[in-house]
Structure 1
Amino acid sequence: MTSMALAPRTALFLPASNPRAIAKARTLDCDMVILDLEDAVKPEDKDTAREAAVAAMAEGFGDRIAAIRINGADAAEHAADLAAAVASAAAVLVVPKVEDPATAARIAAAGKPILAMIETPAGVLAAAAIAALPGVAGLIAGTNDLKASLGIPSAAGRGGLSLALQTVVLAARAGGGWALDGVFNALADPEGLEAECREGRALGFDGKTLIHPGQIATAALAFAPTGDEIADARALLAAARGGAERFRDRMIEAMHVAQARLVLRRAGEPD
């Protein structure tokens, strides 16, 4: 994998063909902006969207991580998207429907770190090999496409995805990269979004991909350390002296110290 900054809690997809959405993204409190050239863009708008994405990257998104989702390897626009995105100021490329390490390696070798979207059974089975590649910054669980390819009804919950989701997290962690959960489609269901975010965090995901600005605050809170976690991390670091030792009626060691430091980094505090 390629080492990058702290993983985003909130990664917002928006169409690169929508200039108003791009402008608004610069005012939003999200960690990552992903300009989409794939599913969110009509076929007749692909070329203008590509140009708009490059221009938007040149202008920048402040301290947000800026990414472009290119069209997949089997799409007619893939080569042009890849060349333009690599030449742009984007920090990372998001690649849809990655199913084999060879494809991921070829795209990463073009010159930008990539986030590989795992959206098919073949992708899940190859996830560990994909995540281990140089140039792969992490994985995104493409839950909508996974449901479709596995034959899970769209209205069903995520129970049928449990093995696939945990596999994505395991593969990302084994490769040392980020793990981002899939999108939540129901825009008028904030309780459902919160529940899915908390489930994602419990599975080990770093953050969640989003499709609407109204989802940012809920996801950011769900994936942030709680006040109790922050207080416990501070106390643990203050008490730790090295080796295995007792802290608040539990045993801790170097692993727990590293976890506490990560909690404080996530909270924006010095450790």
Structure 2
Amino acid sequence: MSTHDGFTPLRSVLYMPSSNARALEKARTIDCDALILDLEDAVAPDAKADARRAACAAAASGEYGRRAVTIRVNALGTEWHDADLAAAAQACPAGIVVPKVSSVEDVHTLVAAMEAAGAPEHTKLWAMIETPDGILDARAIARASERLTVLVLGTNDIVKELYAEHVPGRWNILPSLHQVLLAARAAGVEVVDGVYNDVKDTEGFLAECEQGRRMGFDGKTLIHPGQVEGANRAFSPDDDAVADAEGLIAAFDEAGSGVATYRGRMVEQLHVDSARRTLAIAEAIRALGA
């Protein structure tokens, strides 16, 4: 995975069904930051083995450019999990995405299995948080292994598990989303928001991207290539944000006293830290040519 100053852009993380050869081919040209080649929900039981071979061949091909290519295996305890994880480890993707990670023990089991299967050091664990146990234990999960570098929200499953409903603004699951965000920041790992289901509702999708960015997510998982541009734009600092960050840092440095004023706002070290993160994100995106 490409990085800059420790930051890996994950603005747009696109699920692609590994059972669809045309989709895998098309993914080579889509301007997303990461791909999740799916062996789980998007693949029928009788197509799992073929999809596994196709996903692993794609991940090992080196034909996806700057995109971080990951493979989503079936969950622990399913009949496909062990074969999925062993094959994915051998394909050496950027990450192995595992659904329904619900405990520290799950993380330890997964990491041990990845290492036993020969996964190289660069193949990281991406843990999907989408169960009540996973949400309640998110901080411990996020800290359970240095190999775990990304938390992925499974918002459809969260809604299902809570017996909730999909509503505009997601007010009914915001506590769950915040808990996972807090866990990720406490552990120093990246965290990616869940999907938006209505691919025809551009306005609703963009509003949810903006909500996710303002909440603090690093990016969003996507179910359609048409959502990539909007997610990239929403999770990228724009020119005004970059200029503001540069001006704030310059004002603070010039003051030299630990406190400054910039455009009528008081500036302290915490504001400078945020501004520097904005610049690091912008530079990392530029470095990828994205």
Does TM, normalized by the shorter one, top 0.5?
yes
1:48 match: 50
1:118 to 126, 129, 134: 129
User: Which residue identity lines up with residue 100 of structure 1 in the other structure?
Assistant: S
- Percent sequence identity over aligned pairs: 46
CA contact (8 A) 2:164 2:172 kept: yes
1:63 match: 66
Runs of 4+ in structure 1 off by over 3 angstroms are: 154-157
1:5 to partner: Cα distance:
4.5
1:1-271 alignment runs, 5 A limit: 5-60=7-62, 61-109=64-112, 110-111=114-115, 112-134=123-145, 135-154=147-166, 158-241=170-253, 244-248=258-262, 249-268=264-283
User: Which residue identity lines up with residue 218 of structure 2 in the other structure?
Assistant: D
Residue range with higher mean Cα deviation, 48-57 or 107-116: 107-116
2:120 match: none
Deviations 1:87-135 (A, max 9, x none): 1120111110111111112212324311111111111001110011221
Q: Distance in 1 between matches of 2:205 and 2:144?
A: 32
**TM-score scaled by structure 2?**
0.87
**TM-score scaled by structure 1?**
0.93
Q: Distance in 2 between matches of 1:260 and 1:5?
A: 14
1:247 to partner: Cα distance:
3.0
CA RMSD between the two structures: 1.8
Q: Distance in 1 between matches of 2:87 and 2:269?
A: 44
1:239 to partner: Cα distance:
3.1
- For structure 1, the residue ranges without an aligned partner over 5 or more in a row are none
Q: Distance in 2 between matches of 1:150 and 1:157?
A: 17
User: Which residue identity lines up with residue 44 of structure 2 in the other structure?
Assistant: K
1:252 to partner: Cα distance:
2.7
Aligned residues: 268
Q: Distance in 2 between matches of 1:153 and 1:207?
A: 23
CA contact (8 A) 1:244 1:251 kept: no
Residue range with higher mean Cα deviation, 225-234 or 32-41: 225-234
- For structure 2, the residue ranges without an aligned partner over 5 or more in a row are 116-122
Deviations 1:192-249 (A, max 9, x none): 0001111111111110000000000111111111322111111123333256221313
